[in-house]
Amino acid sequence: MAKYYDVHPDNPQPRTISQVARSIREGALVAYPTDSCYALGCGLGSRDGVERIRTIRRLDDRHHFTLVCEDFAQLGRFARMDNDVFRAIKAATPGSYTFILPATKEVPRMLQHPKKKTVGVRIPDHVVTRALIEELGEPLLSSTLLLPGEEEPMTQGWEIKDRLDHVLDAVVDSGDCGTEPTTVVDFSGGSAEIVRRGAGDTARFE
C-alpha cells in the first residue's frame, strides 16, 4: 500500500519532503507532481525502480528515462553539450522541456539508450519537485505517469493512489498539475529536433 503525502504547492512542508526523500533513498518508487503532469520517480541507481517503471508503463529498452535535476550545474554532470546547445538549454530552463543529450560516464548504463548512449534531462519549474530534488541531493530518475492504452496522464493524486496503490510505495499530492507532458527536444545530433510537442513552447527551437 502506497503512503500518501499531502504537500502544500507553494510552501512544501520540510518534514514531509524529507520523509519522501528518505524513502526514495531506501528504494521507494513514488508518483510526484511536476510542472507538466505527474511522473514516476525513483533513486538514480535503483535498478528495481527502473524495472518497476518499465512494468507499469510497459516500456522497452529504447525508452529514454529522464533525470530530473535541481539546477543547470547538476544537469551538466550527466549530459554533454557544446556551447550553442548549452546556451539554448540554459535559456529554456527551468521549464516544461525534456532534452535528449549524450550521456556522461556518471549516467548508469541502464538509463542510457542502448545504441545512442543518450539520456533525457530536465529542470522543472515546480516548487515541490525542486524541493524534493534538493533534499534528495541527486537527480530523480523519472518517467511520465502515462499508463498503457491511455492518451492522457493522470493528474489527481487521490486517483493515482486509488489506481496504483498496489504498485507504488508513495504518492506526493500537491494539487492539479495539468495533463500535458513536457516538450521533448533531441540535441544529441548537435541541432534541435523536436521529438514531442508538449507544454513547453517549441518556437525557440524551430
d(CA 123, CA 75): 8
Instruction: Output the pLDDT for position 77.
Output: 94
Instruction: Output the pLDDT for position 67.
Output: 97
For 25, the grid coordinates are 533513498
d(CA 1, CA 4): 9
Q: Which CATH architecture has domain 3-205?
A: Alpha-Beta Complex (3.90)
Instruction: Output the pLDDT for position 162.
Output: 95
Instruction: Output the pLDDT for position 134.
Output: 96
Angle at 101 between CA 189 and CA 120, to 5 degrees: 135
CB contact at 8 A, 205 and 118: no
Q: What are phi and psi of 23, to 5 degrees?
A: -65, -35
For 73, the grid coordinates are 550545474
What's 21's DSSP letter? H
Of 59-68, 73-82, 166-175, 186-195, give the lowest mean pLDDT range: 59-68
102-125, pLDDT tens digit by residue?
999 999 888 877 778 899 999 999
- Locate the domains of the chain by residue range: 3-205
CB contact at 8 A, 172 and 183: no
For 187, the grid coordinates are 540535441
d(CA 78, CA 102): 9
12 Rama class: left (phi>0) / alpha (psi -120 to 50) / beta: beta
pLDDT above 90: residue 63: no
